[in-house]
A and B are shown apart, each in its own frame.
Chain A
Amino acid sequence: MSQKIEVKNANVYYGMEHALINVSMNIKANTVTALIGPSGCGKSTFLRLFNRMNDLIENCRVEGQILVDGQDIYNPKVNVNELRKSIGMVFQKPNPFPKSIYENVAYGLKVNGIKDKRLIEEKVEQSLKQAALWDEVKDKLKKSALALSGGQQQRLCIARALAVSPSVLLMDEPASALDPISTMKIEELIFNLKSSYTILIVTHNMQQATRTSDKTAFFYMGELVEYDDTRTLFTNPKFERTQNYITGRFG
């Protein structure tokens, strides 16, 4: 199987700070990759490389090559808005728009110039079903998204990201602000989405990483320390630092 994502010697700087140091990594299509490591080690920075959200941060500089489906996404010819359509993102804190549930999911289609109401309606329903939220909200699509519970809001944010048909889904600690039951639902969701999407998930929860992911990458102080099959990394890590982190001796 060919690689979905190839990262070659990526370096990220915030002003003088070297936040990501010489990271290289290959990710296969339709897999879940967990990114773990102590706070501030560069997991979010790494994740934001793929939809170029780092572009929005002043003083942020990216070096190296990042290929998605063999194409260099930092090529000056690449349209960032198009790129972000094919690489969806879900954030740590649920951040639905202060609008109706329907409008939240339809927004990505609308800003991409889709006007056909029937098509939008179909896509909204399909995305909400994919995010396992349809049954809970189908009777109140016109109600404000802010009235939903935290867990529902996060699944709405996932539906919103899915609506524009991305092939990669970036999730930055998507369950860290949620209760255990909502967390479980999100994990189930990740498992079901794997067949159609390539998923990268940042998590602080070791169990979550083992439950959801095929591969795990351990970052420490901006460096990729170890990257392996999740089972191997958690049962038989090659490096002591990985061992210390996953057994909770620091971080």
Chain B
Amino acid sequence: MITLKNRPSDKTRFYQWQDKVFKYFALCCTLIGLFVLALLLYNILSVGLHRLDWNFLNSTSSQRASNAGIKSAMVGTVYIALYTSLFALPIGISAAIYLEEYAGKNKFTNFLEVNIANLAGVPSVIYGLLGLEVFSRIMMLKNSILTGSLTLALLILPIIIVSTREALKSVPYSLREASYALGASKWQTIWHQVLPASSGGIFTGIILALSRAIGETAPLIVIGAVVFIKTVPNSIMDKFTVLPIQIFHWISQPQKAFAANAAAGIIVLLLITFLLNGIAVYLRYRWQKKIKW
């Protein structure tokens, strides 16, 4: 028989109190985060929104704040994103497939795994130094788009490998088993079953890695990306700048008018990042809805 007392015991009351306190504490933490974000957005919008017009999007660098725009930087960012994915995706995804599906469990693969995990945590400026020495100087690619995208490709490679492996891991063994039992080879099983079933997770990882790449400043400054550029790059060997560098440059100018430029640039960069993240969320949602094991 259960006994229902009118007054809960002291212990029960303490736990209920504890529950409530923690709930409000967590709520406060969430609100602080949202509040700071809203403040930031408000600040940027109020400073930069009036500067955001066709002229701003369609002009290159200039000494005068009112003539300066982000065309070169936007084109640079697009190029960098494109070539970075071109270099990082095939290598990263192949490496993940090898490690997850082909490599056995031994000392060597263990060593590889630990190092890839470590690489994902190396500060980005170190990748910049590596790019400066190897791509820019030794391979004599100078401060070109090629150098920039190779450097960023190295930076996001470990992220792509780790996230792709997670996606591959989430495909249940029963699916592979079913494919093998029909006489499919290992590669057929990976290509026709495992990759499609994990594509949502793989895309999510790729897009998050890419939005990290287009937000990077430090490694590109180290390899010598320019800050003042009158031309729009149109070849992979051209010098270039990207949005975060352009923004950083404007912010460090003494004139107040440049601050408005920087804020407008931030709005564009935020929009691009939100767009990419939105695609990632959408893909993940689609994937979870479509595939229930």
Write the residues of chain A forming the contact surface with B, with a CB cutoff of 8 angstroms. Answer: 51, 53, 56, 58, 81-85, 88-89, 91, 93, 95-99, 107-108, 110-112, 144, 146, 157, 160-161, 164
A-B contact pairs, 22 of them (CB 8 A): A53-B181, A58-B104, A81-B184, A84-B181, A84-B183, A85-B183, A89-B181, A91-B181, A95-B174, A95-B175, A95-B177, A97-B179, A98-B290, A98-B291, A107-B184, A107-B192, A111-B185, A146-B291, A157-B178, A161-B181, A164-B182, A164-B183
Residue in A84, A98, A99, A144 whose beta carbon sits within 8 Å of that of B182 in the complex: A84
Task: Say yes or no for B292: interface residue by CB 8 A criterion.
Answer: yes
Give the residues in chain A near B177, CB-CB below 8 Å: 53, 56, 91, 95
> In the complex the two chains form, what is the Cα distance from A99 to B121 in whole Å?
37
Task: Report the minimal beta-carbon distance from A237 to chain B, rounded to whole angstroms.
Answer: 33
Give the residues in chain B near A112, CB-CB below 8 Å: 183
> In the complex the two chains form, what is the Cα distance from A187 to B67 in whole Å?
80
- Chain B: interface residue total (CB-CB under 8 A): 21
> In the complex the two chains form, what is the Cα distance from A97 to B178 in whole Å?
8
Task: Report the minimal beta-carbon distance from A96 to chain B, rounded to whole angstroms.
Answer: 8
Task: Say yes or no for B235: interface residue by CB 8 A criterion.
Answer: no
Whether B182 and A85, one on each chain, are in contact in the complex, defined by CB atoms closer than 8 angstroms, is yes
Give the residues in chain A near B196, CB-CB below 8 Å: 98-99
> In the complex the two chains form, what is the Cα distance from A91 to B177 in whole Å?
9
> In the complex the two chains form, what is the Cα distance from A160 to B196 in whole Å?
19
Residue in A83, A93, A146, A161 whose beta carbon sits within 8 Å of that of B292 in the complex: A146
> In the complex the two chains form, what is the Cα distance from A108 to B180 in whole Å?
10
Whether A97 and B175, one on each chain, are in contact in the complex, defined by CB atoms closer than 8 angstroms, is yes
Most chain B CB within 10 A, of A51, A82, A97, is at: A97
Other A-B pairs, 17, CB within 8 Å; known A53-B180, A108-B184, A111-B185: A56-B177, A81-B183, A89-B181, A91-B178, A91-B181, A95-B177, A96-B178, A97-B178, A97-B197, A98-B175, A99-B196, A107-B192, A108-B182, A111-B179, A111-B182, A111-B184, A161-B181
Which residue of chain A has the shortest Cβ distance to B185 in the bound complex? A81
> In the complex the two chains form, what is the Cα distance from A55 to B188 in whole Å?
17
Give the residues in chain B near A110, CB-CB below 8 Å: 192
> In the complex the two chains form, what is the Cα distance from A95 to B184 in whole Å?
16
> In the complex the two chains form, what is the Cα distance from A98 to B287 in whole Å?
11
**A111/B174 contact (C-beta < 8 A), A84-B180, A85-B182 known:** no
